[in-house]
Chain A
Amino acid sequence: MSISVDPRPGRHRGRAAAATARISFEAMDADPNTLVAAAAAGDRDAWNSLVDRYAGLVWATARAFRLNDADAADVSQVTWLRAVEHLDDLRNPAALSSWLVTTTRREALNLLRQRRTGALPDADAPEVADDEQPPPWHDILVDERNRELWTAFRRLSARCQTLLRLLVIDPAGSYTKVAAALDVPVGSLGPTRARCLTTLRGHLAQSGVDG
């Protein structure tokens, strides 16, 4: 993918043609450092590539706090609006993914606090009821196995859901990066991952499916 630097000075406030929401696979190949530098220099394509690359990470992080569609969309939007303003002072562009996760988590927690949903959810407590949130069957082709896996996954603690989502969304992402994003010691990730997967297998076994 070629990165062109937009020479236009100043602000980029023009209403650009509506962006298509298709995820570009090219985005996965580009170096995030290059993309952050290009976006900071005014390259909108580079920005779109960053969004394509990390939108799933931001969404997954918001979802891990069991936010519904509308709340997760709000949290995601504020996170990206702030990211635009912080492009220039990200000292280490490679840290963008950690910055995004940290900002999303803080924003999701703020939203829960403002809703006064009582005490904040205990990150280690298992999900007990998820009735207010029907499964988001965006894809009607989701099969039985995926439904059961989703149900079992949603019964995991928020901590497990976040960790597993981060691990699967960015398989190339190192434990170091995930640990920084979650603000936990890197040494704890392996054992936590194993424990979360064991619990997930237990939930699946209860529903009569092999893990």
Chain B
Amino acid sequence: MNPAEHPDDTALLAELRDMLWRVDPVPARAIEAARNSYDWRTLDLELAALTADSSLATADVRGEPARLLSYEAGSCSIDVEVGEAAGRLRILGQLVPPQAARLRVEQPGVSVEVTADEMGRFTVRDLPPGPTRFVVEPADPAAPGTGVRTDWVRL
């Protein structure tokens, strides 16, 4: 036993475990949400990692009305600007290099289809806040692996 240890530490920890289990158990809906995360597993799409998020920047750039995020994959990157009004999100997106594409904006339980124009621009309106990711569908459905999905981020 560590000399600094109180002889009753083990008993107090056991009591703490019992207390936390009773007072602050994991809510059933959090467990269910965690289980259902598996529905969103994707294997055949390249991952575009979040590389920039203005909401995490230092104070001097805060106060900007919109949140700017960048995701990067080997084949393309996605820049989005997220604005909020009355608790709903409005997203302006840009695919780089610019290209027409079909996209899905996914949130647990919801999938919204949008189209990017030839300039690679897309817009999504009236989205609730929550965990969100973008999926760029493969340009050629017969060639999976060319599509991209972004990291999940709370928007």
- CB within 8 Å of B: which residues of A? 10-16, 18-19, 21, 23, 39, 44, 47-48, 51-52, 55-56, 58-60, 63, 69, 72-78, 80-85, 87-88, 107, 110-111, 113-114, 116, 135-139, 141-142, 146-147, 149-150, 153, 164-165, 167-169, 171, 190-191, 193-194, 197-198, 200-201, 211
Contacts and interface: CB of A to CB of B under 8 A. Distances in A.
Contact of A12 (B23, B38, B108, B131): B38
A74 B97 CA distance: 32
Contact of A84 (B20, B23, B31, B38): B38
Interface string B1-41: 01011101100111111111011111111111111111111
A85 B41 contact: yes
26 contacts: A11-B43, A11-B44, A13-B41, A18-B32, A21-B35, A23-B31, A47-B38, A55-B30, A59-B24, A59-B27, A74-B131, A75-B154, A77-B30, A78-B152, A80-B34, A84-B37, A88-B43, A114-B55, A135-B23, A139-B25, A147-B23, A168-B16, A168-B17, A194-B2, A194-B9, A201-B12
Contacts of B13: 164, 167-168, 197
Contacts of A19: 32, 35-36
B151 interface: yes
Contact of A51 (B34, B130, B149): B34
The secondary-structure label for the interface of chain A is: helix
Contacts of B22: 138-139, 141-142, 146
A16 B32 CA distance: 12
B56 A110 contact: yes
A110 B131 CA distance: 13
Interface string B142-155: 00000001011110
A163 to B, nearest CB: 11
B19 A146 contact: yes
Given A77-B108, A85-B47, A197-B12, A191 B25 contact: no
Interface string B113-155: 0000000000000000011010000000000000001011110
A175 B30 CA distance: 27
Given A149-B16, A169-B17, A191-B4, A83 B33 contact: no
Contact of A113 (B56, B108, B151): B56
B39 A12 contact: yes
A114 B55 CA distance: 6
Given A11-B44, A58-B34, A69-B27, A164 B16 contact: yes
Contact of A78 (B5, B42, B62, B131): B131
Interface of B: 2, 4-6, 8-9, 12-20, 22-44, 47, 55-56, 62, 108, 130-131, 133, 149, 151-154
A84 B18 CA distance: 30
Contacts of A135: 23
Contacts of A81: 37, 40, 108, 131, 133, 152
Given A77-B108, A78-B154, A21 B19 contact: no
Contacts of B153: 78
A39 B152 CA distance: 19
Contacts of B30: 55, 59, 72-73, 76-77
